[in-house]
Amino acid sequence: MSHNSVDRLVYMANQIGKFFESQGDDKAVPGIADHIRKFWDPRMRKMVFAHLDAGGAGLVPNVLEALSTLKQAEQEKA
């Protein structure tokens, strides 16, 4: 599995979600979004946003929420 495959991105995003999980959704969701914004390159974000648009299969709830928030913020900024 390549680093940029959708399955790999889903796995990575869920690992980030698991890390932030203990902080509760009010802190976890912004933390996940901030981490992905800072450390994932634009191509990775574009791929995971396309996966999100296609239903987001495999993404855990706090990651789904974080990605939706991040996608919306990036669209408003553009």
Query: What are the structural domain ranges in the chain?
Result: 6-77
The pLDDT tens digits for 8-66 are 999 999 999 999 999 988 999 999 999 999 999 999 999 999 999 999 999 999 999 99
Q: What burial class does residue 10 get, using C-beta atoms within 10 Å of its C-beta: 0-12 exposed, 13-18 middle, 19+ buried?
A: buried
Question: What was the pLDDT predicted at 4?
Answer: 55
Predicted TM-score (pTM) of this structure? 0.91
Query: What gap in Å lies between CA 24 and CA 62, rounded to an integer?
Result: 9
pLDDT at 78: 80
- Give the model's pLDDT for residue 3: 54
Position 1 confidence tier, pLDDT thresholds 50, 70, 90: very low
CA 70 to chain centre: 8
